[in-house]
Amino acid sequence: MSHALDLIHRVEASVGRALVGKPEVIRLAVVGLLARGHLLIEDVPGVGKTTLAAALARSIGAGFQRIQFTSDMLPSDVIGVSIWEPGKSEFVFKPGPLFTNIVLADEINRTTPKTQSSLLEAMNEAQVSLDHTTYPLPRPFMVLATQNPREHEGTYPLPESQLDRFLLRIRIGYPGAPDEKSVLRGAGSPVLEALVPVLQAEDVMALQEEADRVRADESVLDYIMALVAATRTSPLLSLGVSPRGSLALLRAARAQALADGRDYLVPDDVKSLAVPALAHRVMVKGRGAQGGGLDAEAVLRSIVQDVPVPR
């Protein structure tokens, strides 16, 4: 237990060197990693989305790829392509940028639904199927997708069924003034490149397994059920949280408990993760899935403030 906590702290400290002043964002990223989930980072450009993904990849000694999505991108640009190899007289699979551990899918809403869905399928199943052959993706595998909430021109909003595949939706936000100043002061020094892996891919997988073993008391499960049920009956929401959503909340909460050094869940784990884990899975009445981003969070916050916690 203390070993796991130590490893997690090392990762967080390492990422924290690159992404200054955002421990809670780093924690959510680590939670996503430990819960075998993917992150949707919704924020304006230039607040450190890439830095977060790259620093995470470097800290765990894993492969890292960045895919900049554009509207002319094809699925093969993401997952790879089979090419005729004359020497062997057969098609040979050339893996795309997806075949790595940490993928930064930048501006995912700029590409066509076809490409989006090929990526999301890969995310869900951790494998790529092409020409009747299945190619497993390396483990650990984590996608950090970003989208810009301010620009809607020329974008293809992710449908809610696709949004459901992200474990957490987070925001980074602008850094505080002192942190920003320290970033300016250190500008020019290669922070990201200076990061060394603090744990290996096998360690990450061991931690993921440990997170699965975190004990969830019946009352905490009831609490999750109550939260989810409240989203389904809320008069403000037209679409509540799916069972996949409640499962995601439980997985995220377990990872959070592990990152906190506990082998059991407390209601706080669930409560603190309810908004990032559920807000992108609901639809506010009178709005589309995209338009209601902020409002969905407000509705969920009010639900969290109302649902009784286990005594």
Partner 1 sequence: MSALFALRLITYLLVCAGGAALALAGLLGPVGGAILALALTGSWVVDQVRDRMPVRPIFVWALVVAAAVAIALDLLYLAQNLLDGMVHLLLFLILMRLFRRRSLKDLRDAGFLSFFMLVAASVVTFDVSFLFVFIAFLLLCTWMLILHHVVSESERAKTGVTDLTAGGFGPRSLLFRISLAAAAGTFALAGLMFFIIPRVGQATLPFRAELGKRISGFTDRVELGAYGEIETDETVVMRVHFPERVKDPERLPSLRWRGLAFDRFDGRIWEASPRRRGLLRRDPSGEFRVTEPRGAGPLVRQEIFLDPIGVDAVFAAPRAVRIQMQVGAVGLDEMGSITTPASSARLQYSVDSELEVTPPPGLRAAAWPVVSQLPETARYLQLPPLPDRIRALAREVTAGSRSPYEAALKLNHYLSTQFTYTLVLKQQTTLGPIEEFLFVRRSGNCEYFAAAMAVMLRSVGIPARVIGGFQRGEWNPYGAYFMVRMKDAHSWVEAFLDGPGWVTFDPSPRAAAEEAFGAPSAAVLYLDALRMRWYRYVVNWSLRDQVSMATSVHRGASEWRGSLLGWRDSLRAVPRWWVAAIVVLILVAAWSLRRYAPGAGRRAAAAGVPRFYLQALRALARRGFRRGSAETAREFSQRVEGAAPPFASAVAQLTAAYERCRFGEGALSPEEAAALDASLAALRRR
How many Cβ atoms sit within 10 Å of the Cβ of residue 129? 13
Residue 233 sits in the site that holds partner 1 (CB under 8 A): no
Please tell me whether residue 253 binds partner 1 under the rule CB under 8 A: no
Provide the CA 142 distance to its chain's centre, in angstroms: 7
CA atoms of 221 and 105, how far apart (whole Å):
33
CB of residue 256 to partner 1, shortest distance in Å: 13
Q: Based on the shown chain and the rule CB under 8 A, indicate whether residue 5 belongs to the binding site for partner 1.
A: no
Using N-to-C axis directions, what is the helix angle for 243-259 and 23-34, rounded to 10°?
120
Closest distance of CB 250 from partner 1, Å = 14
Check residue 139 for interaction with partner 1 (CB under 8 A).
no
Instruction: Tell me if 212 contacts partner 1 by CB under 8 A.
Output: no
Distance of closest approach, residue 11 Cβ to partner 1, in angstroms = 24
Residue from 86, 188, 243, 308 binding partner 1 (CB under 8 A): 308
State the pairing for strand pair 80-85/283-284. Answer: unpaired
Whole-angstrom distance, CA of residue 22 vs CA of residue 93: 40
Question: In whole angstroms, how close is the CB of 216 to partner 1 at the nearest point?
Answer: 8
Helices (H), the chain: 2-18, 23-34, 49-59, 75-79, 113-125, 160-163, 177-185, 191-194, 201-212, 218-233, 243-259, 267-278, 293-306
* Rounded Cα gap, residues 104 and 253, in angstroms: 23
Tell which one of 152, 215, 244, 285 touches partner 1 (CB under 8 A).
215
CB neighbour class for 28 (10 Å; exposed up to 12, middle 13-18, buried from 19): buried
Asked if 250 interacts with partner 1 (CB under 8 A), we say no
Contact between 271 and partner 1 per CB under 8 A: yes
The distance of closest approach from Cβ of residue 306 to partner 1 in the complex, given in angstroms and rounded to an integer, is 6
CB 291 within 8 A of CB 70: no
Interface with partner 1 by CB under 8 A: which range of 19-27, 121-129, 204-212, 218-226? 218-226
Residue 275 as a binder of partner 1 (CB under 8 A): the answer is no
Among 267, 276, 292, 293, binds partner 1 (CB under 8 A): 267
Of the pair 139, 271, the CB lying nearest partner 1 is at 271
Binding residues for partner 1, rule: CB under 8 A, are 215, 217, 219-220, 222, 262-268, 271, 304-311
